[in-house]
Structure formats: structure tokens, C-alpha cells
Structure 1
Amino acid sequence: MHRLLPLLLLLLAPALPATAQPSTETFPYPLKVDRLPNGLTVVRVPFRSPGLVAYYTVVRVGSRNEVEPGKTGFAHFFEHMMFKGTKKHPEGERDRIVASYGFDDNAFTTDDFTVYHSYGPSAGLDALIELEADRFRNLEYAEPSFRTEALAVLGEYHKNESLPELKMEEQLSGTAFKVHPYRHTTLGFYEDIKAMPEAYAYSRTFFERWYTPDNTLLFIVGDFDDAAVMRQIREQYGPWDRKLAQVTIPEEPLQKEKRTTHIDWPSSTLPRHVLAWHTPAASLTTTSAAIQAVLAAYLAGPTSPLFKELVLEKQWVESISSDSYPRRDPSLFTLTATLKDEQNRASVNDAFTRAVRELASGKVDTARVRAIQSNIRYGLLMDLEAPNDVGLQLAWCAGIFGTPDGLARHLQNISKVQPEQLVSFARRYFADNNLTVLTLTPAAGGKP
């Protein structure tokens, strides 16, 4: 299993007949969509890939759903437990069957959703459907196995804490957020991870609460017989009858003053500098997520004046970047610099601040905005060369937006962004009272 750090569910009528949605300029492949009576959304994408199929299961639960005190990190932890077996297929048997067909099989958890994915021969699709339906309906594991895996997750945390990125994420999130679960990382608070071996009973509650058909979308992409696949899907997943729990996610109050946080990193690495502003949740009915996607490239991409000045000309920084991927709830838009030398921190901060203020003043390069929009679209299309690529992109956007066509609609929104919207967005959100600044200074020397 691996973890990726780096778009409301459209409910179709029960037993909706499959419909082929025509290709659009933004997404070139038709989606066949059914929703079973139990709420499971099943999306099939025929793709010219003789003998190959990708199978993605999206469960819309992530660390944002961890609202109980002392129970952070469970979405990620439970991803591990989903590989532990059932009465029909005890632990290890699923792995052997999947390996016998040659499937590449894995999973990942984000703040907003969890994805299970397999990629391999169409000849093994029937077996895979039965295995997947069985574990999502009938997962079983004993307390000793649970405790063992909890220790493995603790080991994963210890491995990650040797990197400055985890500490940066923890400290930035904990400073910028005071109430919302985004204040902890997907791994969770360290004290909660240490206490996980004692939470066996809660783990069963977590499974019943979130692993439900009405909170899950399947994406099957590649070479397969659609009618045969749907017959088996209905047979295997049809009896799955749990219902999604209603749990209130705390709303983060407005930030009213600038916040700062600092990390003294105990070993050698390069200094870091991060500016982060609170921004709206992703939605397909507004252009907020699309604006932020364009803004990330506009301010920190390789065609940006910041990149030209800081990376190419003055060579003060090794890299600049922006965290802009869509999130289900209000989150952060960041500008991050990896500095070559601590002495240039103030100058880099000034350059970041100047670029944001220039944009807010109304100075915007229309031609570059249009070029960025085209680059986002064509860059995605170039990445859709295999069923696994298509499955990943569709799954990611479905996890955020909750609808099978989230990817196409998000791309359509990006194409509609107007240059003046970048200006108004910067004026509204990139204010000092909405800003959190994180700085990281390494041990003497400041070199990796």
C-alpha cells in the first residue's frame, strides 16, 4: 500500500439503466454508468487495450472523516486492514489469487478518499470482481492481526518522520487549522497511532460506518464484455446492504490574523519557506477549484516570473511549487520554496509577496493564462495512454467531486476560467489575515 499526498455525490435513480455519455473535448472516452439499488455506482470505460483491464474502487472516506478525539489516522490504517481476508478467502489467499493472474494490486489513502486498484489481464476479471465484492462486504480479521498491523503503521510513521516533509505538513496543518480534521495528516497524530492497537472494536465501527455501497464508486477501464461484467457486479455486489453514516465534519472558523510557525530541523537539508492561504472547497458548480488549478501554474509554474527570477536567474532556490489539488472542504493554497541558502529567505518571501500583490492589483497576463489552460488539458490527455492511467484520473476526481464525470467537468471548468477571475480570487483570499507562514531551518550548514 502507498500514500499519496501530491471533485457532492450525484445520486442517480435506483436501478438506473446504463447510459453511454458521449465523448467531449475535455475527456475522450465514453462512460457507461449504472447505479445499483443499494447505491453502488458502477462506471465502465471501454478502452482499446486487448487483454488488459484496470479496476478502481473509490471509497469516499479519508482523514477528513476522523472527527472523534483520539481516533486520527484510521482511514489510512484501515486501508491496510482491507487486505486481511474474509471467511471465504482467509488472509493470504486473495494475494495468491491476484498474483496468479499477474495483477498489479495496491491502494492509497488521501485526506478525502481511499482508492483500491488492480491492473492486469482481462482473463482474471471475473475472479477479481468476486474477491473485491467479498472483502468489501465481508471483511474479517482477528484482534492479533489488527494489533500486528497497527505496529506496522507505527513503523511507517517512524520511517516518514525522518523526512522534513512530514513535519512540515503536520506543523502547517496544525497551525492553519484549529477545528477541521485537515489539522492532522493522513497518517494521524502520533499519540493516536501509538494507541491504535487498543482500538480493535472501533475499527469494526469504522468499517460499518464508511465502507458502504452508497459511499463507493467502481471504475472498470479496458478490454471486457460489458454485459457479462454487469451481470457479475450485480450478483456479487448486490447483497451489500450497509448505509452511509451521518457524521458532521467540523467547520473551520475564519482565520482573522496572520499565523507563523517554525521548524528547527535537526539534520542537514535545504531550508524551506511556505506561504499558505485558506481557500474554498472544490465544487463542480463553481469555478473555485478550477481557478486554483490555473493559479498554481500561473504563480509557481515553469513559465511564471517567480520561476524565472528565483530558479533560473538569481538561483536563490532549488525549486518552487504550489499545492493546488482540489479538496472536499475548504483547504490551503500554498507557495513553497526550497532555498539553496538561508540568507536568501527574506528576499524569496518578498518575491512571493510581490507576485501575489501584483496579481491582486489587476496585473494579469491573459496570454499566459490561456496557455496554462491548454497545457493542463493536453497534459492530461497525454497521460491517458493506458487503462490504468484513465482509471487513476477518474478515481481521483470521483473521490473529490463524488460523481463519475468529475474529471471532465473539472476540466471544462478550467477552460472557462477568465483572467480577471484570478485577480478577484487573489484579492479575496490572498490577504495577510488569511495567511499562515511556515519556515524550516536545518542544522548548521543548510546543505543536504
Structure 2
Amino acid sequence: MRRLLPLLLLLLGTALPAAAAAPTPASDAFPYTLHTDTLPNGLTVVRVPYPSRGIIAYVTVVRVGSRNEVEPGRTGFAHFFEHMMFKGTKTHPEGDRERILGNFGYDDNAFTTDDITLYYSYGPTAGLPQLIEIEADRFRNLEYSQPSFQTEALAVLGEYHKNAAAPFLKMEEELNAAAFTRHTYQHTTMGFYKDIQAMPQAYDYSRTFFERWYTPDNTLLFIIGDFDDAKVMELVRQHYGPWDRKAAQVSVPAEPPQKGPRTAHIDWPQPTQPRQVIAWRTPGAGTSPVDAAIQTLLVDYLAGPTSPAYKTLVLDKQLVESIGSDYSEHRDPHLFTLTATLKDERHRNTVRKTLLQEVSRLAAGRVDAARLKAIQDHARYGALMALETPRDVGIQLGWYAGVTGSPDGFQRHLQSLPKVTPAQLSDFAKRYLTANKLILLSLTPKTDAQGGTK
């Protein structure tokens, strides 16, 4: 009889209660409590009470990004589909959603990364019942015509052309191509250019992509702010409960070990400043939270304003406009980078050697423990100070949950930061920031008539 009960309830139209996890309490690392439930269909629903009278943030994270695009000729669809998710349904045709949410004054947007697609709405609690209904409807019942699809595909192509006018997209493409020979991180979130050009002919595949990845068991919902929890969960069960698709299972190719240094170079056809990127393939946050915390701290330790490299290259010798890192958390092993925007091409070797020398000192065990402690305190303080609104909280929670697969991924990251020791920092550099794993990318711009690069 127990085995038949779920089926009987389903046939009678009665939803099973959500499975509730014990609340994740507030702590010094993260000052807000997470209430997490999982619906029978697999949707994870996290509510976070926040002292924002009459205001809420509504964040939906789908664990799909360019990482999931394993089929040849089908790159860029995660980003493209972010656009299509605003096209409407039979209940709310295109434009209806924007009209309703606009009347309430919601700020509404989305973004796509290598690993996740995140949607957020931010506005008055008074509109939350309508927002829940509208969001559940589009995630369950998205509709769009082939002409609408083709128009948006051309818009995405235009977005690529706009981004390609600056050096950053080309640099990302060339660095990924040098670093990854098999893994889907080889292509950017935008996708390969030839695949973007072919998108208008991929209407049928787009419907497959929606059914494959926009599923409750591949999605996490975060509601942050001022709301009645019981009423919210009643509405969530009502509108999201019938959502019954299951996420696809695909095999993301593992990247083989790198056996020696690699290089890539870009001759940029327009005047700009020379660029240098130094990169190594390092563990992902999805598999190693401690290594993710180490890399977060390494950004400031090696290239931050208190680093010797910054003092030498930016302040004293003034050889670069800036140094930094493009590191961000990923599900799978990705890249730790050091970046420099040079003032003159003649200083490239000096800049590269200076940065690599700092890495060598670190690997040799020469760690400034006091400076590391200051960076850890600053990282924690900065992360907490950045949580100024429910939207800030929701996006941070959603980002880390999407990457790690855990609703409390952000809290675990914050808890890991102060626990990193000087020995761990040195050991990480010794294991991963090595010569045989090195990838060097250089960009040399076209010079002007006077020989300058500006």
C-alpha cells in the first residue's frame, strides 16, 4: 500500500509534500538562514528571510552552460536559450510577462556562464504571487515560433560581432583553444562562430535543448527577502509541482593531462594596449571547494594591490596599466590566470618574468603569512559587505549553488576562506602552477603611424 500511495495521490491530483531539509542556520560566515525544500519532481526551493521590508529577489538557476554542449555544431545554445526564455507561453504570450512585471516595477534580467544560466527578478513582495505563476509557466511551457527563433538567432550573431570588436572575446577563444583539447570548456559561452551562424536552421534542436535541460531536477529556486514562507511554498507547489521532465545525462569529455607548456598569440588588427595572460589548468570548485578558496585568495596574493608584483610593475616601474586575474569558479577543472595590460610591447618579457618569479617564490614556500591573513580578512569582509540587497544575496547563492550543486555552496566557500594555511597556498602552487602546465597567451596590437599602440 505504501508503494501505491504516491501513484494514488498523483491520480487524485494531490501533490506530495516537499522534502524539507534542516535549515542552514546563520553564522559568522553567512548571516542569513537558508530554508531548503525539495519538491517530489526534484526542484530545490531555498527561502532566505532578509530584512528588506516589502522587497524580494527571485532567482532561478539552471545547471546548464557551455559545459553541457557536447554535440558538434551545437555550441552556444545555453546562452542562446537564455534569450528564448523571454519569448512567452500560450498563457502569457510574448510581452505579457514584461507588462505584468513592469507594472509592479520589477528589475528583471539573466546571464549565462560556462556552467549555469541564472534568471533573477527583483522588486515588491506584493507581486510575488503573480511572479511565481509567471515564472513556473515559462519554465514548464515555453513557446516560440520558428520566425521568432530565427530573429533571435540573428540577434545573438549581432551580439557576437559586437563582442568581437574588442580583444577580450578573441583572447578567451584562443586561450580556451590552447588549454582544452577535449573538454567542452574549449568553446566560450557564446559558442564557435560557425555554430552561431548556423543557429537559424536549428529550430527543432532548440526544442530538444529545452526539454533536455530545463527540468526541475536541474534547477534551483531562491527566494530572498520579505515574504510569508507558508504562502510562498503553497504557491510554489501549486505552480511548479506539475513540472515533470527529467534532465538528460550526457558525458562531458575529460581533459587529458597537459604534458608541457603551450603558447598562443594574437596579432590584433587595431590599435590597443598589449596584453599578456599566464594560465594553468587547476581544480574546479565543483569537485574541490578548498582548492577553489585557495585560488580566490591567490588572485590577491599574486596580483592584488598588496602584492610585490603590483608594487613593482604598477607603482614603481610603471610597466603595466594593470595586473589581475580572470579566475572564476567552474564545475570542472578550468584555469587560474594572471593577466597584465602592458604600456609597451618592449616590457613583455620583464612583466612575464616578474609574475612567474612570484609564483616560484610561492611554490618554494616563501609565503607572507601576515599578508595572507590580511587578504583572508578582506575577502570575508568584502563578501559580506557585497550582500547589500536581496538580489546580491540571491545571485551569490545561485552562482555557487549552480557550480557546486549544493544550495549552501556559497556558505561553504566563505567558511573555507579563513581556513587556508600558508602551507596549503604553497603546496597548491607547487602542484598546479608548474612549468609543464603553463599556457602563455600574448596579444600584440597594430601600431599607429607614430609607432604607438594607443
- For this structure pair, what is the TM-score category when the shorter chain's length is used for normalisation? over 0.9
1:228 counterpart = 2:231: yes
The aligned residue for residue 402 of structure 1 is 405
1:191–1:283 distance in 2 versus 1, CA, 3 Å: closer
Deviations 1:35-72 (Å, cap 9, x if unpaired)? 10000000011111111110000000000000000000
The aligned residue for residue 102 of structure 2 is 99
Q: Which amino acid aligns with 1:355?
A: E
Aligned mates of 1:283, 1:410 — CA distance in 2: 11
Aligned mates of 2:255, 2:380 — CA distance in 1: 33
Out of 205, 210, 214, the position equivalent to 1:211 is: 214
Out of 111, 117, 128, the position equivalent to 1:108 is: 111
The aligned residue for residue 336 of structure 1 is 339
SS of alignment partner, residue 21 of structure 1: coil
1:139 counterpart = 2:142: yes
* Kept after mapping to 2: 8 A contact 1:14/1:35: no
Alignment of 1:162-181 (within 5 A): 162-181=165-184
The structure with the larger Rg is 2
Q: Which amino acid aligns with 1:265?
A: W
The aligned residue for residue 81 of structure 2 is 78
Aligned mates of 2:183, 2:17 — CA distance in 1: 33
Deviations 1:245-302 (Å, cap 9, x if unpaired)? 1100000011111111110111111100011001012147651111111111100111
Q: Which amino acid aligns with 2:283?
A: P
The aligned residue for residue 433 of structure 2 is 430
Deviations 1:89-127 (Å, cap 9, x if unpaired)? 111111111111110000000000000000011111110
The aligned residue for residue 5 of structure 1 is none
Q: Which amino acid aligns with 1:135?
A: R
Structure 1: segments with no counterpart, 5+ residues: 1-12
Aligned mates of 1:361, 1:21 — CA distance in 2: 40
1:62 counterpart = 2:65: yes
Number of residue-to-residue matches in the alignment: 436
Alignment of 1:403-422 (within 5 A): 403-422=406-425
1:358 counterpart = 2:357: no
Aligned mates of 2:151, 2:340 — CA distance in 1: 39
Out of 277, 280, 283, the position equivalent to 1:280 is: 283
Aligned mates of 1:179, 1:124 — CA distance in 2: 46
Out of 387, 393, 396, the position equivalent to 1:393 is: 396
After TM superposition, give the deviation of residue 361 of structure 1 in Å.
1.0
The aligned residue for residue 28 of structure 2 is 25
After TM superposition, give the deviation of residue 322 of structure 1 in Å.
1.3
Aligned mates of 1:116, 1:357 — CA distance in 2: 41
Aligned mates of 1:229, 1:19 — CA distance in 2: 18
1:311 counterpart = 2:314: yes
The aligned residue for residue 118 of structure 1 is 121
Aligned mates of 1:319, 1:14 — CA distance in 2: 54
C-alpha RMSD of the superposition: 1.2
Deviations 1:383-413 (Å, cap 9, x if unpaired)? 1111111111111111111111111101111
* Kept after mapping to 2: 8 A contact 1:19/1:32: yes
After TM superposition, give the deviation of residue 352 of structure 1 in Å.
1.0
Aligned mates of 2:388, 2:362 — CA distance in 1: 36
TM-score by length of 1: 0.96
The aligned residue for residue 447 of structure 1 is 453
Aligned mates of 1:383, 1:282 — CA distance in 2: 21
Q: Which amino acid aligns with 1:178?
A: T
Aligned mates of 2:308, 2:403 — CA distance in 1: 31
1:269–1:302 distance in 2 versus 1, CA, 3 Å: same
Structure 2: segments with no counterpart, 5+ residues: 1-15
1:345 counterpart = 2:348: yes
After TM superposition, give the deviation of residue 24 of structure 1 in Å.
1.1
SS of alignment partner, residue 237 of structure 2: helix
Aligned mates of 2:429, 2:114 — CA distance in 1: 25
SS of alignment partner, residue 407 of structure 1: helix
Q: Which amino acid aligns with 1:176?
A: A
Aligned mates of 2:338, 2:289 — CA distance in 1: 23
Alignment of 1:252-263 (within 5 A): 252-263=255-266
* Kept after mapping to 2: 8 A contact 1:45/1:220: yes
Out of 297, 302, 309, the position equivalent to 1:299 is: 302
SS of alignment partner, residue 20 of structure 1: coil
After TM superposition, give the deviation of residue 21 of structure 1 in Å.
2.2
Q: Which amino acid aligns with 2:245?
A: R
After TM superposition, give the deviation of residue 22 of structure 1 in Å.
1.5
1:200 counterpart = 2:206: no
Aligned mates of 2:302, 2:234 — CA distance in 1: 49
TM-score by length of 2: 0.94
* Kept after mapping to 2: 8 A contact 1:281/1:326: yes
Q: Which amino acid aligns with 2:435?
A: D
The aligned residue for residue 189 of structure 1 is 192
Aligned mates of 1:56, 1:17 — CA distance in 2: 19
